Amino acid sequence: MKFWHIAVKDLKIRVRDKSAFVVLMIIPMVMIIILGTVFNWAGSSFTANLTLVDLDRGDMARRLAQDVFASPQLKDLLIVKTVATEAEARTLVEQGKTGAAVIIPTGFSTDVAEGTRVSIVVLGNPETAMQAGVICNVVESFTAEVQRRQLAASIAVRTLQQSGTVPQERMQEAIQSVLDEVGTSGQTGTVSVKTTTQEGLKVPRALDYYAVGMALLYLIFTANTGTEGMLEEKRQHTLSRVLATPTSRSQVLLGKLVGIFVIAALQFAMIIALTRLLYGVNWGASVPAVIVMATASVLAGAGLSTLIAALARTPEQAGSIGPAVALVYSLLGGTMWPVYNMPAWMNSLSRLTFTRWSVEGFTSLMVNGGGVTSILRPVGVCLAMAAVFLLISVTVLNRNYQ
């Protein structure tokens, strides 16, 4: 149990450091309330703001507005505002006051009926890329449905003309009947297929989200300060004197790693408890699930910081590299800004960080509830990353301490 005595010794040193308490507890709590108040979005189902300009006023335009945008499948997803001119819509998009603008051109319904190639304009703002993407998918699905009907009508008319079963004097009437049948087909609901995955996307309150984000950011800072102590002991030859006692190198390393984990775990637990008590943050209905997700996150954070210490040569190097890595993780991993507002390339890249998976796990518990089984994937990824970090760290540290 020598490793435990080493861990307790490190813990006592950190507890006595009042400045460390301010940095690792007070600042995270202040940052959470500042960011949560400044951004202050309310947790809810995902919605997209759509500005509609109907320059056509025809039947097909009405179908898009009423049968698609206002359909039961999409009415909770899309918030539709109608304006009279394209210029007004462009202004709203440029000012970021709408997710995207849909402009139905003049003569759209007539061109569709005649089989002429037509297009609907969708204007999006890069700052509202996710909303614009959802709206664009809806419109693309609608146009695909229109093209399918045009093709069906064309084939049906050609078949009538070639079959000879309809007298010539009644051909026009038969063709019009086919066109009417295709045009009144009640299948516009199929355009919701591409957007149903977005309909159920829910987000936590800003305060809840940043409670997770800042807890993860300062988790890395906390673990960094613990690993810097390892390098300082090595430079002052304190570590070599410990190794001269009947204490194996593996016990010393295990004690250091346990100490870092315990310190980081205590900080994370205190942030969870204090944000729940003072700010009313909803961490989820299942306490075991929160504990499992927090444990996996702390292990990954401690592993990453230990890896930094193992690769650094001096405490100064670790003190410079550690915060830099923490900030990069914050920007890329979703602790500083919501992952669901990231560009597609950044969203994919963020999955290389454990913080992204931690954010995903905690926010899932916040908005969807559920137990341990609902977060098995993010927990598994965090544990896998922790294992890789720690394996490399122990290998390097074991060589350095010889």
State the DSSP string of 349-382. Answer: HHTTSHHHHHHHHHHHHHHH---GGGGHHHHHHH
Q: Which of 200, 218, 240 is the last residue of a domain?
A: 200
Q: Residue 194: which pLDDT band, with cuts at 50, 70 and 90?
A: very low
Within 8 A by CB and 6+ apart from 239, the residues are 230, 233, 252, 401
Contact 269, 287 (CB under 8 A): no
pLDDT of residue 241: 62
Q: Residue 163: which pLDDT band, with cuts at 50, 70 and 90?
A: low
Q: Residue 197: which pLDDT band, with cuts at 50, 70 and 90?
A: very low
Number of domains the chain is built from: 2
Q: Mind listing the pLDDT tens digit for each residue in 213-234? A: 889 988 888 777 766 666 666 6
Q: Residue 185: which pLDDT band, with cuts at 50, 70 and 90?
A: very low
Q: How far is CA 187 from the centre of its chain?
A: 33
Angstrom distance (rounded) from CA 299 to CA 109: 60
141/58 same-domain check? yes
Q: Residue 188: which pLDDT band, with cuts at 50, 70 and 90?
A: very low
Within 8 A by CB and 6+ apart from 402, the residues are 249
16/70 same-domain check? no
Q: Which of 200, 225, 248 is the last residue of a domain?
A: 200
76/209 same-domain check? no
11/151 same-domain check? no
Q: Which of 177, 200, 223 is the last residue of a domain?
A: 200
**Which of 85-99, 120-134, 154-168, 179-193 is predicted with the least confidence, judged by mean pLDDT?**
179-193
Contact 174, 296 (CB under 8 A): no
336/244 same-domain check? yes
User: What percent of the chain has a predicted confidence (pLDDT) above 90?
Assistant: 18
* Over residues 273-296, mean pLDDT: 92
Check: pTM over 0.75? Answer yes or no: no
pLDDT of residue 294: 95
Neighbours of 87 (CB within 10 A): 9
Is it the case that residue 195 has pLDDT exceeding 80? no
- The mean predicted confidence, pLDDT, of the chain is 76
* Over residues 86-100, mean pLDDT: 88
191/211 same-domain check? no
Provide the domain limits for residue 129: 47-200
Q: Residue 400: which pLDDT band, with cuts at 50, 70 and 90?
A: low
33/168 same-domain check? no
Is it the case that residue 325 has pLDDT exceeding 70? yes
3-state DSSP call for residue 44? strand
pLDDT of residue 125: 74
pLDDT of residue 169: 54
Q: What is the CATH number of the domain that holds 134?
A: 3.40.1710
Q: Residue 240: which pLDDT band, with cuts at 50, 70 and 90?
A: low
19/56 same-domain check? no
282/393 same-domain check? yes
242/389 same-domain check? yes
Is it the case that residue 206 has pLDDT exceeding 50? yes
The phi, psi pair for 79, rounded to 5°, reads: -105, 105
The phi, psi pair for 52, rounded to 5°, reads: -110, 130
**Which of 50-64, 228-242, 278-292 is predicted with the least confidence, judged by mean pLDDT?**
228-242
Within 8 A by CB and 6+ apart from 1, the residues are none
229/150 same-domain check? no
**Which of 196-200, 289-293, 391-395 reaches the highest mean pLDDT?**
289-293
257/187 same-domain check? no
pLDDT of residue 75: 74
The residue length of the chain stands at 402
